[in-house]
Amino acid sequence: MTRAYAARACGSIDCVSEHRKLKTGGWPMKPIHLSRVFLSMSLGLATVVGAASAAKADLPSDPGDVPRSSLAPADYRIVKSMHAMSMVGISAGEIAQKNAGAQAVRDFGTTLVDTHTTGDQQLLAYAKKAGIDPNRMKNEPPPQELAYYLKSVDQMRTLQGAQFDHVFTATVRDAYKETIRQIQTALPVISDSRLKALLDQRLPILQKNYQTAAVLASQSERAASERQPPPNTTSTGQTPQPAPSRTP
């Protein structure tokens, strides 16, 4: 309502003033400083964006990465390798308990399941304290150096008896050799003292299992060579040649 229209309706300027009081609740309106409003909104938005950026920085950017606030990348890589070796040991050991031909190989399979189940529990407990999600680590692809051995374990499921013993002992031996090499290389540069203590505790166990696997692999290879039929030789030790064909 314009002032002129209000004056005509009420008949006086005083009526217009009363009308203004009614619209503003009886108090004069104060000017709104939009610049202050925009400044407050900008500061609040900057705070939210900053917090979101900080949270994003602590999240892994790739499946193989680790939160920067928790663990150094080199430390995380050896944790992944240890976990992958545990999966090799547990899976291969469980298959050996069913498919192995020699009792010594079956017994070694039981040893693998026991030692690696305990070791992996300790490793995952450490990972959780270090800020790593154990479930996320389990679902990540294994390190390239140990992926071959995990694939070999799957192939063992179709083998039985002496053939299984030969493949199983050689695969486990080589997987242990690679894992031990990685640990010995990483130990001097490990930055987390808790991880270093865990590796120092686990290394002798892995070395003992490696030695057992190496002995069993040698025995299996020797047995396999003894089972091969000897070549067809004469008394002079020469392989006989087929007689020449006669022409009619």
Q: Give 76-141 as a DSSP string.
A: HHHHHHHHHHHHHHHHHHHHHHHHBSSHHHHHHHHHHHHHHHHHHHHHHHHHHHTT--HHHHHHSP
* Domains by residue range for the chain, with CATH: 1-29 (no CATH), 73-225 (1.20.1260.10)
Q: What is the pLDDT of residues 160-180, one digit of tens each?
A: 999 999 999 999 999 999 999
* Cα atoms found within 13 Å of the Cα of residue 65, Cβ hemisphere only: 9
Q: Does this model's pTM top 0.85?
A: no
Q: What is the pLDDT of residues 211-241, one digit of tens each?
A: 999 999 999 998 877 766 655 544 455 544 4
Kindly report the number of other CB atoms within 10 A of residue 236's CB atom: 7
Q: What is the pLDDT of residues 96-109, one digit of tens each?
A: 999 999 999 999 99
Q: Terminus-to-terminus CA distance in the chain, angstroms? A: 134
